[in-house]
Structures are given as C-alpha cells and as structure tokens.
Amino acid sequence: MFKKYLDNEQFNFQLNRFLGKFMEDSEVKNDIEKALPNIKDMDSWYIAWRKLAEKSEIKGKFELAAAYYAAGNFYLRESDPNKAHMYTKYRENYYKSYKGLPLEHFNVPYEDSFFQAVRVKFQGSTKTLIFHGGYDSCLEEMLPFLSVFENLGYDIIAFEGPGQGMALKNGLKFIHNWEKPVSALLDYFNLDEVTILGCSWGGYFCLRAAAFEKRIKAAIAYDIFYCGMDVIGMKNKEMRYELEDLLNNNQKDKVNELMYSKMKADIDFDWKISKGMDNTMTDTPYDFLKAIQLHTMDGIEKLIDQDVLLLAGEEDQYVPIEVMKLLEDRLVNANITKKIFTKETGGEQHCQAGRMDLAFDEIKKFLIKNKNMHI
C-alpha cells in the first residue's frame, strides 16, 4: 500500500520507492518518524538519509544502508561533490547485501563509451526479456525485480542506457532515440527476437525503440508515457501552453526566466528541471527543454506494429491518465493489452508504487501469453 508521510507528494513517492521494502520494520519505522520532522527541502532530505545510511552501514545492515544512500542521493546535483560519494556507497552496500539471482555483468560498447548490463539465464528459456528504466534509473534498482520473471521461459537482460546510472557518469547523455542503445545491446548479445520492458520514462523509451527496432517483438510500457512535456506541465497546463509557445519561438531568455521562477517556488519542479539538465548535460532550462521536446510519440505511433502492454496508475503524479486513451487511439497497428489501476484496485500511483506486485502480475500474464503465441 502506498503510504503518505509528508505533504510533498514527490517526497512521499520517493520514500515508498526506496524504503517500501522496510516499512514494516519497527526500527526503520522509528528512524523514519524521527527523520521526517527535519525534512523541509532537498538539503535537509539529503542530510536526514545520509545520517541513517551511515548508521545502518556501521551496524552491518548493508541492504538498508543502500536504500538510505539511494534516498539521500536522489536530489543531489551531478556537480555536488557529495553525489559521487553517495552513489559509490549505495552500490558498495547494495552488492554487499545482494542475495538475488546469479548475475553476469557486461560493459556494452556504445559510441566512444559503454553502458552496463546484467544477464540472468534460466534453464529451458527460449525467449529474452530486455528491462530498462527511465529518467533517474540505475541498474541496481532493477535487480531485485528480476526474480519476478523466473520460470516464465525468458532469459533477462537489464541495462542502463544513456543518461542513466553509470552511463551518465561515463559521458552518455539522456537521448530520445532509444532504439540506438537497444540496437547496440541486441547486436552485442546477438539477439534476433526480444520483448522489451521499460519502467517510468522507460514507457516512452520502449515504445520508441519498438517503432524503429523490429527485433523487438513485444513492448511493455510500465507505465504509459507519451511525451516529456507531459511531465513538465503535469501540474500546470496553462504554464505548459505558455512554455511550449516560447520554446517554439526560441525565446530562450523568457523560458529561462519562467523556469527559474518556478523552480524557486516548487521543490518538485526544481528537481525535474535540475535533474533533466544533468541528464541531458545542458546548462540552462531552455536547452534542457529543447532536448526533451524530442521525447514524444507524436508521429511515430503507426510504426509500432508489435504486441504492446500499456499499464497506468489513475493517480500518477507524472503522467496524465488521458495518455491511455491517446495511445489507444494512435497505436493503430499495434495489438494492445491495457490495464488501469485505481485507488480501489490498488496501484494507482506512478509505476504502481506501494503495490508493484499488481503491475508484475499483469506483466507476467502478458509475457506468458506472448510466449505461447510466438513459439
């Protein structure tokens, strides 16, 4: 169940995201209750979770320490000297505590750099599932979910693409044309037929990749995503219309003035823009938004002719639920399966935070059906 701790919905989402596994632990509950009154902004968020991360690490509770380090790292800019430390400590503690499936690690060559991938092979598997994230993903966050897909007849390859995790630190910036890293991945592993699963902003990435890379035979948007500007303008449609008009007329100074004023007034909006500038390696909100305008399904929907699973949370704070109808209407050549989660069913939040099991149930049903249809 999605739990509300603070008035800030972004803070609540990230708490559920990073600490959901530990929420019933009495010691963790106590730690969180003590930390919450001190969290007022991004700086105090970082301080609170770093303290708890270091405390847990000293106690040898490496899995919990990793979760706290991940939470504390979330709002830090790439230019912050604490960022590298928090990321390194997160990964160190994560792998100290890892007790999941046996992993094969790979560095996939891409452009003048590389991105990370892991593979899990299951006996008797005849298909391959490709798994990736979105706006602020890292490889380690995906690994706990790999066991969900065990014994379904699929080997699994999870990877970080440009703008994510270590790939960003390797100089690979966030891009719209996700078919490029996917094609590089498929070439590297010599794969001819795959199903692709994209999480969060990855819902756009996987559909985009399916439009141009036909070795993809099925795509799972977990959750739905149509364009980057949906996220930017989610809470203020009037501002979005004004912003798009300014961008389309190349009004750089006015865009930056508008964005900086909004960022000062809204922690969540500040993070969206700041993180986006880091991801795209741009210096101003204007340049970031120009890059993000390329992240859209508009004009490529008819190219998708595969089996597609579309998942959505009715109260998603990042993606409007109306996107489901838009995709249904425009994916005219795709074979669509869909599921909308509500407060009544559970899973109404972004990527079904608090009830991810419901999303995974739908994904597993789709994978089994798709495997049996395409033997």
* Cα–Cα distance measured from residue 259 to residue 371, given in angstroms and rounded to the nearest whole number: 46
Q: Provide the CB-side half-sphere exposure for 329 (13 A, CA).
A: 8
Q: Which of 44, 58, 197 is nearest to 130 (CA)?
A: 197
Q: Which residues fall within 8 angstroms of residue 54, CB to CB, at 6 or more apart? A: 65
Instruction: Provide the residue ranges of all domains of the chain, joining segments of one domain with +.
Output: 9-97, 104-227+295-373, 230-292
Integer Cα distance of 95 and 106 in angstroms: 16
Query: Which residues, in sequence order, are CB contacts of 337 under 8 Å at separation 6+?
Result: 307, 308, 309, 310, 366
Cα dihedral angle (265, 46, 353, 138), rounded to 10 degrees? Answer: 110
pLDDT in tens, 336-370: 999 999 999 999 999 998 899 999 999 999 999 98
The CATH classification of domain 104-227+295-373, taken from the options 3.40.50.1820, 1.10.1060.10, 3.30.1060.10, 3.20.20.450: 3.40.50.1820
User: Distance between terminal CA atoms of the chain?
Assistant: 37
Contacts for 209 with CB less than 8 Å, ≥ 6 apart? 178, 179, 182, 196, 198, 216, 219
Closest CA to 132 of 148, 143, 147: 143
Q: Are 350 and 320 in contact (CB under 8 A)?
A: no
CA–CA dist 312, 224 (Å, integer): 6
CA angle 71, 76, 81 (to 5 degrees): 120
| Whole-structure pTM value | 0.93
What is the token pair recorded at 329? Answer: 């209407």
Tokens standing for 73? 């790292």
Contacts 24+ apart (CB under 8 A), 263-268: 267/8, 267/10, 267/41, 267/42, 268/8, 268/9, 268/10
% of residues, the chain, pLDDT over 90: 87
Q: For each of the chain's 375 residues, which pLDDT tens digit applies?
A: 777 877 788 888 888 888 888 988 898 999 999 999 999 999 999 999 999 999 999 999 999 999 999 999 999 999 999 999 999 999 999 999 999 899 999 999 999 999 999 999 999 999 999 999 999 999 999 999 999 999 999 999 999 999 999 999 999 999 999 999 999 999 999 999 999 999 999 999 999 999 999 999 999 999 999 999 999 988 788 889 999 999 999 999 999 999 999 999 999 999 999 999 999 999 999 999 999 999 999 999 999 999 999 999 999 989 999 999 999 999 999 999 999 999 999 999 999 988 999 999 999 999 999 877 665
Q: What is the pLDDT of residues 11-24, one digit of tens each?
A: 888 888 888 889 88
Is the N-terminal amide bond of 223 cis, ω within 30° of 0?
yes
**Residue from 343, 339, 347, 353 nearest 311 by CA:** 339
Q: What angle do CA 48, 52, 53 make, to 5 degrees?
A: 110
In sequence order, the 6+-apart residues with CB closer than 8 A to the CB of 92 are none
